[in-house]
Amino acid sequence: MKPLEPTIYYNPDLTQIINGEEIMSPSPRLLHQRASMRLEWLLLNHLAKFDLGELFHAPFDVIFEQDFNHLQPDILFVSKQNQEILQDWVRGVPDLVIEIVSPGSKKMDTVIKKDIYERYGVLECWIVFPEQVCIEVYTLVDRQYELYGTFLRQDSVHSKVLEGLSFPVNAIIK
């Protein structure tokens, strides 16, 4: 008897259009989901405390250009000053996007999508590496991303966009 091949289930809601090409991704794994949930909880509490704006999570399209770039960041923030981009989906540039890297998404998250966020002017982009217990924060300076900080384990994560935010990386990634 032939051994069973592992099955990867694709969710049509996880389809993105990246540089004009439709890309389907498998649903996130457990480590990714835990990091996402814990990070959302921390961010939602911070946003509520200071009434800064709204937080959303995938699957939720950010439409930069019709039929060319519809991305679904794992988590995104839209400030109160930027609320006009909230329509049926996000139609415009969010203030902050967060990509949580899974084993099969490293190049997509750290190179391709990050480059697109930079090109369209997203002020801040976080790349979360659950397996390395690490978060990289990039901020837009003169239309290019600069590494604002690499935060490991007990390091406190800080943000230019979410002023006053501070939490240890291992609060979301254990």
Whole-model pTM? 0.88
What whole-number distance in Å separates Cα of residue 125 and Cα of residue 137?
6
Q: Can you give the pLDDT at residue 66?
A: 66
Angle at 64 between CA 60 and CA 69, to 5 degrees: 80
Residues paired with residue 140 on neighbouring β-strands, in sequence order: 145
Which residue is associated with the tokens 């770039």?
69
CATH topology of domain 28-171: tt1808, chain A (3.90.1570)
Residue type, 168: P
Strands annotated E in the chain: 10-18, 21-26, 53-57, 62-65, 69-71, 75-79, 90-91, 96-100, 124-129, 134-141, 144-152, 156-157, 167-168
Q: Which three-class secondary structure string do you get for 93-130?
A: CCCEEEEECCCCCHHHHHHHHHHHHHHHCCCEEEEEEH
Dist. CA 101–CA 107, nearest whole Å: 9
- What are 32's two structure tokens? 């990714």
**pLDDT per residue over 50-107, tens digit each?**
999 999 999 899 998 766 778 899 999 999 999 999 999 999 999 999 999 988 889 9
Asked if 126 and 114 count as a contact pair (C-beta separation under 8 A), the reply is no
pLDDT at 159 over 70: yes
**Residue 133 predicted with pLDDT over 80:** yes
Q: Indicate the average pLDDT of the chain.
A: 88
Domain ranges for the chain, please list them.
28-171
